[in-house]
Structure 1
Amino acid sequence: MPWIIGLLLFHAYPLIMSAYYSLTTYSILEPGEFVGFDNYANLFKDRVFWISIYNTLYYTVIFVPLSIAFGVCLALLLNLKIRGQGIYRTLFFIPSLVPPVATTIIWLWLLNPQFGLVNYWLDKIGISGPPWIGSEAWSKPSLILMSLWGTGQAVVIYLAGLQDIPQDYYDAASVDGASAWQRTKTITLPLLTPVIFFNLIMGTIGALQNFVLPFTLTNGQGTPANSMMFYVMYLYTNGFAYLKMGYASAMAWILFLIVVGLTALIFVTQKRWVHYQGKE
């Protein structure tokens, strides 16, 4: 009964009410009037709404594949039997434990165009560092770089997947004369695809809801020139800054449909590239 009450009170009821509020002019302070699908129609006329979708998709399309490639490569390295293996694993996992706001402050200093450590070392090797988050062209790549720094949690999952692969497969391949790269290509990566599939789903959902880093970096303004205005940031701004909760609720439902659509697409395509042990 406590679980059922919690489900109804904290999940089902807010879900139903948000669907209703998306059809009204509800503003938190006032109940609002029923306006049907006007909020949805106005969203498609909103220039910032389309900018936020572009920024979010740009981040998702680039960050998710990069995070998977980076995480898998890092997990393969950390899975090598070398001295100090536990220390290396701990060092790469620690960044994921740092609170996002603290991470933002660290990277604000590192990527500062005038006195940041990154541009300092780039200047030492004769490269003129970009303005990073101060530039419309470099703001999203800077955010992707910051996000890649915290892939330690995904690496732990990849490591668990690597250790679940039977050693017998590698021994048989070695007897047949397979090189390290051939064993990686024909055994490790195919049998790691279920874990990659899981991280692809979770990474896509997380990227579409990106909020803390860009919000902290820009004080919720999305500057410069709205290049850091992500979808959930704009949703938050409409709901809690402008008190347009009906408008924000409509945005939430559009995001829900986008997440469901992309997740369903990934599930459909996984039959072609995900390999499970014992089913091949």
Structure 2
Amino acid sequence: MPPSEFIGLDNFRELAGDNIFLTSVRNSLLYIAFAVPLRLLGAVSLALLLHRRFRGVSAYRTSAYLPTVVPDVAYALLWLWIFNPLFGPMNLFLEAVGIGGPAWLTSPTAARSAIVIMGLFTIGEGFIVAMATRQDIPGELYE
């Protein structure tokens, strides 16, 4: 085995010029810009909405957390069905309102949107944290 050769930052220089790497960084930044704030907003909104006691609130809280505990394989199959371009409910809904649905999982632009939409349904952990935080605040502070 030949002795190793120090090449400094050459690997990083090569990485900075790689189009695939730059595309993946762009996709990650787009996900951070759209999915993270929407998930946070959704979790906090649900926690505010379901904080008060009313009939059936436990069922709503459970349904908000349920997508989090569904196994990943079942979750993936469900989303494959929802985003199916031929008979998926997402495209059927879009066609009903007069918008042609894209090929969600094969078009790069539509796939980014699909990933953000899928991420919105996994707000269960954030919902639980926001709900626990909200319930930890004394009631006197609300009045």
With normalisation by structure 1, the TM-score equals: 0.47
What is the Cα deviation at residue 32 of structure 1?
8.3
Q: Establish whether residue 155 from structure 1 lines up as the match of residue 127 from structure 2.
A: yes
CA distance in 2, matches of 1:65, 1:32: 49
Q: 1:26-55, CA deviations, whole angstroms, 9 ceiling, x for partnerless residues?
A: xxxx89833332211211121111111000
Alignment of 1:86-101 (within 5 A): 86-101=58-73
**Structure-1 residue corresponding to 2:4:** 33
Alignment of 1:44-55 (within 5 A): 44-55=16-27
Q: 1:215-266, CA deviations, whole angstroms, 9 ceiling, x for partnerless residues?
A: xxxxxxxxxxxxxxxxxxxxxxxxxxxxxxxxxxxxxxxxxxxxxxxxxxxx
CA distance in 1, matches of 2:105, 2:119: 13
Name the SS for the 2:108 alignment partner: coil
**Structure-2 residue corresponding to 1:56:** 28
Matching residue's letter, 1:143 = I
Q: Establish whether residue 130 from structure 1 lines up as the match of residue 102 from structure 2.
A: yes
Q: Establish whether residue 120 from structure 1 lines up as the match of residue 79 from structure 2.
A: no
Q: Establish whether residue 103 from structure 1 lines up as the match of residue 75 from structure 2.
A: yes
CA distance in 2, matches of 1:147, 1:105: 15
Q: Establish whether residue 74 from structure 1 lines up as the match of residue 46 from structure 2.
A: yes
Change in Cα spacing, 1:31 to 1:91, as seen in structure 2 (3 Å) is farther
**Structure-1 residue corresponding to 2:137:** 165
CA distance in 2, matches of 1:38, 1:127: 48
5+ residue gaps, structure 1, are 1-29, 172-280
Q: Establish whether residue 140 from structure 1 lines up as the match of residue 112 from structure 2.
A: yes
Matching residue's letter, 2:4 = E
Alignment of 1:175-190 (within 5 A): none
What is the Cα deviation at residue 155 of structure 1?
0.1
Change in Cα spacing, 1:141 to 1:31, as seen in structure 2 (3 Å) is farther
| Paired residues, number | 142
What is the Cα deviation at residue 61 of structure 1?
1.0
CA distance in 1, matches of 2:44, 2:12: 40
Structure number with larger C-alpha Rg: 1
**Structure-2 residue corresponding to 1:18:** none
With normalisation by structure 2, the TM-score equals: 0.89
Matching residue's letter, 1:122 = L
CA distance in 1, matches of 2:4, 2:88: 51
Name the SS for the 2:38 alignment partner: helix
Percent of aligned pairs sharing the same letter = 38
